[in-house]
A and B are shown apart, each in its own frame.
Chain A
Amino acid sequence: QKEVEQNSGPLSVPEGAIASLNCTYSDRVSQSFFWYRQYSGKSPELIMSIYSNGDKEDGRFTAQLNKASQYVSLLIRDSQPSDSATYLCAVGGATNKLIFGTGTLLAVQP
């Protein structure tokens, strides 16, 4: 059974701080990794994808991948109250299906 694990949180950070979200996965051959943001009652919204070891930056977001440790993370710099949401880690499978973690609830305190 392929698993994606995340701490459910809540992770509470003050406005302007860096939020660090973590994810581990069990399938060593996985090649594609994604972070989705999900506001309460809404659908997942793709915010980052990463395929190679190292860092990938997009605006205030940085995704980090370490395939040897089977670990993916998302850093959100200068966190804003509007970033408060559940962040879903997803791992891509052979037919492009996604296996999701349970998500980490992020609360940014003004």
Chain B
Amino acid sequence: EPEVTQTPSHQVTQMGQEVILRCVPISNHLYFYWYRQILGQKVEFLVSFYNNEISEKSEIFDDQFSVERPDGSNFTLKIRSTKLEDSAMYFCASSKGIEAFFGQGTRLTVV
């Protein structure tokens, strides 16, 4: 069964460093998303991406965040200068239409 894959599964970084989280969406999906979940809190929408551009972003997705689809298969989330409060699980998701399927997540720890 096709699935969304994310790498790495766990990333530890120092505050102020840049991180890139990678995702390979399901191959025939057209919509791509990033969500995050701070430990013990709800899953929060960050950004949606369609037709090679951002279709919507939340207020969390400020100038420190960017997304890119560098080739036909990868979808990346970059955090330019990480802060302690960026520590969370980051989930990539993709959909053909409405129903979104999630990757296994990247646990980002900022120290």
Measured CB to CB, the residues of A under 8 A from B are 32, 34, 36, 42-46, 49, 88, 90, 92-103
Q: How many residues on B have C-beta within 8 angstroms of the other chain's C-beta atoms?
A: 24
* Least distance between B12 CB and chain A CB atoms (Å): 17
The 10 closest A-B pairs by CB, nearest first: A95-B56, A100-B43, A43-B102, A95-B55, A102-B42, A97-B45, A43-B105, A95-B48, A44-B102, A100-B42
B interface residue numbers (CB < 8 A to A): 31, 33, 35, 41-45, 48, 50, 55-56, 89, 91, 95, 97-105
B interface SS class: strand
Chain B residue with Cβ nearest A6 = B42
Could you tell me the distance in whole angstroms from the C-beta of B25 to the nearest C-beta in chain A? 13
**A97 close to B101 (CB less than 8 A):** no
Other CB < 8 Å A-B pairs besides A34-B99, A49-B98, A98-B33, 5 of them? A43-B91, A45-B102, A90-B43, A95-B55, A100-B44
For residue B48, which residues in chain A have a CB less than 8 angstroms away from its CB? 95-97
